[in-house]
Chain A
Amino acid sequence: MYRQLTTFLVIVILALCSCGHKENLKTKVVAPAHRGIYHWKTSYDPTEWELRWMEEHRIDRLYVKFFDVAPGAENGYDEWAMVPVATTRFEQPLPHDMEVIPVVYITVDAIRALAESYDFGRNYAELLVKRIEEMTKEHYGGKVKEVQLDCDWTSQTEDVYFALCRHVRKLLHERGITLSGTVRLHQLRQLEQPKEKEDERDEVYVSDMYDTERDGIPFDRSLLMCYNTGRLQNSKTKNSILDYNDVKPYLAQYSQHELPNCDVAYPVYGWGVEFDTTGNFCRLINSHSLSDTTTVNSHDRMLREEWGETAEIAKTQKALPKLDKEHTTILFHLDSLNLSKYSHDEIEAIYSR
């Protein structure tokens, strides 16, 4: 009897613990309202498999990189601070059964070049918005609701980049479009740090030049990029694509006030990182070539094959603070050779949490 009672109590306690844990998770993880995926190739020509994959997983948001923005001088345009490069060729029309979000990747060198110019972002914002409009008209037909800017900005380039973003957002708002922007984990820390107090004159100067309110991130929605978290070129790194241990310290600093309306992106790709015997980085091997033994087998080389692991993604998702109900979970990126490494359930698991 005593033994039965003990067993019962254990079960009750375990059940209670289990219920408590579930309740705790509920407060943190909200299933996303939208499922998204990036298209990050220079040619938009999804395969049948990729189209079917999107359908099976009920993808309703496609983030398509339209073009990069790079310094003009490096691309033969001395008179332009920055110019569009690597414009995506559209071999197929963009799908109409899902929302398309044009994405523009701006290199940090382009922002540095912009800082050297006398434009202060106004003209380039107009050029950028006009170009997105033209491309959307040509290849999508419908009106987009959101445009996304992606940039690996740093503390030195933050002001100029944010000024450009504000101009872009203003122009987009005039057209009834919202602006979202990517935020990398290291940028979270940057946002956390209080701005250095500049003297009054400089404050006025910066404000005049960039037409900027210095506080607040200049996006209507933010996208937290939970990948490329580790040091790629360090041979001791366990997984540079996503390692929860790398993410954890950043998330500790994260506060919901800093990134309102936050979406999150997770990696579903992989690659091989090759080092020599002394641990020096040699090269990055495309995931497509990893199976090619002639490419990767070498006596004097060490290979670290790494993928966006679902377990790490799950841990990260759990660790994230509560996201709003309208948030989107986005995967990077639409590539059948990478996506085929993940089972249907694994993908569903990512989207469901």
Chain B
Amino acid sequence: MMKLKPFILVSILILAGSTACACGPWYCSSSENDIYRLLPYGAEGPALQITPDFSKKNILLWSRQTGCKDTAAIRRAIYTEWDNFMDWEKLLSEMRNGNGKNTEMAMRNAFCRKLVENRDTDAVRLICWSKKYSNIRNAQRSPWYYNSHISDEKQLLQEIYSGTCSYKPTKKYADRYAFLVMKCKWAIGDDNATLALWDKMKDKMNGSIFQSEAEDYAARSLCRLGRTDEACKIYLRRGDIGSVMQLKQLKLPELLNTLLRIAPESPILTVELQRVLFSLENNPYVLSNKISIEGYCEDTAVLHIAQRAARTTVLSRRAIWNYTAACLLDYQHRPKEALRQLDGIDTLPCDDFLRKSIRVLRFYLRSQTERIDDDFESYALSELHWMDKELQKEWKRLPEKERFKLSHISSPGGYELLRSCFMYDAMRRILLPDSVGLCERMAASGRQVRALQLANMAENRLFTLTNNKVIKLMRESDTTASYRVNGDWNEHPGFESSWVYWLTPDPDTSKWYCGTLGYNGHDYSNWMFLLADRMSAHTILQYRQRIVHPLDSEDRWLNARGYTDADYWEDIIGTHYLRECNYASAVKHLKKVSPSYQRRMNIGFVSDPFSYKDKKNIADNAEYKLHFAKQMAELQHQMQHGTSDKRGLAMLEYSIGMRNSFDQCWYLTTYGHTFYEPDPEYVSLEEYQYALNPLERLAVNSAPFKAKHTKLADSLQHKAFTIIESDEAKARAYARIYMMTKVKNEYRHTRTGQFYALICDGEWMYTPYRYLMHPHHNYSGHESQVNSKRQTL
């Protein structure tokens, strides 16, 4: 395995070579944030699960009834493999007649030990029968089972039924026995008797965990008797929409109509509508392509039902239907109609959560449709103030671990997000998405600094809420990156700003562990950065100045909710100045970027920005950008002063540096690289929006600069040769760009020409870019031979 490591490493490097990025960016699409909320996140979850936690409740009840605190032991005894070791029937016999092998085995399990010690024969008797019942049901579920009236299984069930009926347990187990009796009757197929039993026992079971389960068996019997409407009512009461859909063979619109008819005030309706909305927001292809996933399609049909219900249904539900209709209209890209749908909704009764949802939705719809002016900006800020307060309340309500729980990994290309924070989710959705996001619209209306401030808050509000501990909204693919597990979250010594940490639950210990990706994945991984990347250095500098010197209370409020790290912003400003070829200004800002910050960048660039076409490396890449900026500024100075030869040579060097900073040393002017080459003539906002990934977006952003300055570099190079006067300087200049044949033929009389004539043994040495054609030499051979000759001379 060890031998394979270098190969694996090399393979990864080769694969990684196609694209590269400086600390990101990773794509955090805010369009994946949810805004349609009738219920808090998770409330819609259990709708299709009938009793997901029955076994948990049952174990806890056993614990209370027997006094055994070891719930794991109870689980093993009741639900898992313990039957392989112990015969419950024999244990019961041994409890009556004296110890034996099964009693010995029982003593190894805390729960069984408790039963033996307490001589709890009622419990053991019940477990015996329950286990037998389960085994029979397993056999009946087999495809080989033949459902005859007199099957062995039914006879055994009858025996259990008779035994259970005639047994008189202590009161604490009465419900358990009653439930078993009902299950037996149902499994035998005697549905009328099952229903009669249910009628007899339902009042006695009131409040018991078995009541709901027993009711489910009653519903199953009703189904078998063809009384499906009655069964549906039970399923609806239990929230088992899946069974209703199956029983009635309903599609979604039909289901909603049925629910409206038979249970217009059922809370299940809200749950089901939330599931529809959740499905819409998370499966963008479902409705747009009219493809049914889990039956959720036909958005127009659902919209019509919602609009009709909003007009006609019971008053207490109208707000829900109005809200749903507005969401569906927005989903169909009809935000103005959606806004109108919300008219008058504030006077309708609804709960606090929905009231907030309505306000958020209205803000979202207005931010898409209204003209961006001072009034709107003022409205938007007031809404954001309110949302932020609500976010803080939500945050405080969340358990410590839940705050960091990344809800789920979505489909490839998606990312984990904190859905449990509705206000944060909604804030991102309102502010960030392409073209329709408020930040984009603000930037387009000339409020670029405000747009950056808002984008910064949308991306980094949680970061500031966690005292600058970075929570990264991770993409699934990031999990493939290697990381270190640093230990228990609570014991973690501390966090460095800008480093990515994430939490993961350990299934064995139930502890949360904190890991780090080991590189800075935060700073260049978000929409705010992508927005800033499209802005000029001057605009970002303005924003930086308002971080340092806020103009008003809004600036201060937004700064407190954004990522204002000086290193981060100075590096971006400096890089943008490099992109704009304003090297003196770049020096001014890059100077302020601390070396420790530069070391955290996950790309270490060593390419020499002044190598001409051949990619030479530099020995020390510390302060790589700053060093380059200084050299370029110095060259700019030399281009203005000194002899014409010096000015010309400086210009040549300057042109080489300029071209390289956009090409092989792209890291000097951007934060990511891809082989995607946008056409600089046609780069536009549309192209930016349709770029496939953030790296391509970066390429679109820098394409005009690259085109402009590459052209400029070419003309400067050409101009340099016109400025240079002496042959000696010209020979040096041609040698600099490897035009050796020219040096040899036309400038042999110069010292430079003589030098190269001496060191070049063969004609091939004059053609540095044809060295690959020579059978015995390669690039490094050429370099070393030239160098050795140089030393000899």
Contact = CB atoms under 8 A, between A and B. Distances in A.
Contact of B148 (A84, A127, A128, A138): A138
A134 interface: yes
Task: From B146, B148, B149, B151, name the one whose CB has the most chain A CB atoms within 10 angstroms.
Answer: B146
Contacts of A134: 146, 148, 151-152
A72 interface: yes
A134 B149 CA distance: 9
Nearest to B151: A134
A77 interface: yes
A135 interface: yes
B143 interface: yes
Interface in B125-146: 142-146
A84 B146 CA distance: 10
B151 to A, nearest CB: 5
Interface of B: 142-146, 148-152
A84 B151 contact: no
Contacts of A137: 148, 150
Contacts of B144: 83-84, 127-128, 130-131
Contacts of B148: 134-135, 137-138
Nearest to B142: A127
Contacts of B151: 134
Interface in A94-124: none
Given A80-B143, A138-B148, 11 more contacts: A84-B143, A87-B146, A127-B142, A131-B146, A134-B146, A134-B148, A134-B152, A135-B146, A135-B148, A138-B149, A138-B150
Interface in A48-92: 72, 75, 77, 80, 83-84, 87
A281 B146 CA distance: 39
Interface in A114-164: 127-128, 130-131, 134-135, 137-138
Interface in A186-220: none
A72 B144 CA distance: 11
A137 B152 CA distance: 11
Contacts, number: 28
A182 to B, nearest CB: 22
Contacts of B142: 127
Interface in A227-283: none
B146 A83 contact: no
- From DSSP, what is the main secondary structure of chain A's interface residues? helix
Contact of A72 (B143, B145, B150, B152): B143
A134 to B, nearest CB: 4
A72 B150 CA distance: 26
B146 A77 contact: no
A175 to B, nearest CB: 14
A171 to B, nearest CB: 14
B143 A138 contact: no
Contacts of A72: 143
Contacts of A87: 146
A87 B148 CA distance: 13
Contacts of A83: 143-144
Nearest to A132: B146
Nearest to B149: A138
Closest 10 A-B residue pairs measured CB to CB?
A: A138-B148, A83-B143, A127-B144, A134-B146, A134-B148, A131-B146, A134-B151, A135-B146, A131-B144, A77-B143
Contacts of A127: 142, 144
Task: From A72, A77, A131, name the one whose CB has the most chain B CB atoms within 10 angstroms.
Answer: A131
A92 to B, nearest CB: 16
A130 B149 CA distance: 14
A348 to B, nearest CB: 37
Contacts of A138: 146, 148-150
Nearest to A130: B144
Contacts of B143: 72, 75, 77, 80, 83-84
16 contacts: A80-B143, A83-B144, A84-B143, A87-B146, A127-B142, A127-B144, A128-B144, A131-B144, A131-B146, A134-B148, A134-B152, A135-B148, A137-B148, A137-B150, A138-B148, A138-B149
A77 to B, nearest CB: 6
Contacts of B146: 87, 131, 134-135, 138
Contacts of A130: 144
A79 to B, nearest CB: 10
B580 to A, nearest CB: 63
Contacts of A80: 143
A137 B149 CA distance: 9
Nearest to B150: A137
B149 to A, nearest CB: 6
A134 B154 CA distance: 11
A138 B142 CA distance: 18
Contacts of A131: 144-146
Nearest to A87: B146
Nearest to B144: A127
A123 to B, nearest CB: 10
B146 to A, nearest CB: 4
Contacts of B152: 134
A138 B148 CA distance: 6
B139 to A, nearest CB: 10
Nearest to A77: B143
A127 B149 CA distance: 18
A135 B148 CA distance: 7
A128 B144 CA distance: 8
B308 to A, nearest CB: 40
A87 B143 CA distance: 11
A127 B139 CA distance: 10
A130 B142 CA distance: 12
A131 B144 CA distance: 7
Contacts of A84: 143-144
A335 to B, nearest CB: 25
A134 B150 CA distance: 8
Nearest to A136: B148
B141 to A, nearest CB: 11
A75 B144 CA distance: 13
Task: From A75, A83, A134, name the one whose CB has the most chain B CB atoms within 10 angstroms.
Answer: A134
A84 B151 CA distance: 17
A130 B140 CA distance: 13
B15 to A, nearest CB: 36
Task: From B143, B145, B149, B152, name the one whose CB has the most chain A CB atoms within 10 angstroms.
Answer: B143
A55 to B, nearest CB: 28
B791 to A, nearest CB: 73
Nearest to B148: A138
A75 B150 CA distance: 27
Nearest to A135: B146
Interface in A285-308: none
A74 B146 CA distance: 20
A127 B148 CA distance: 15
Contacts of A135: 146, 148
A137 B154 CA distance: 13
Interface string A24-36: 0000000000000
A200 B143 CA distance: 38
Nearest to B143: A83
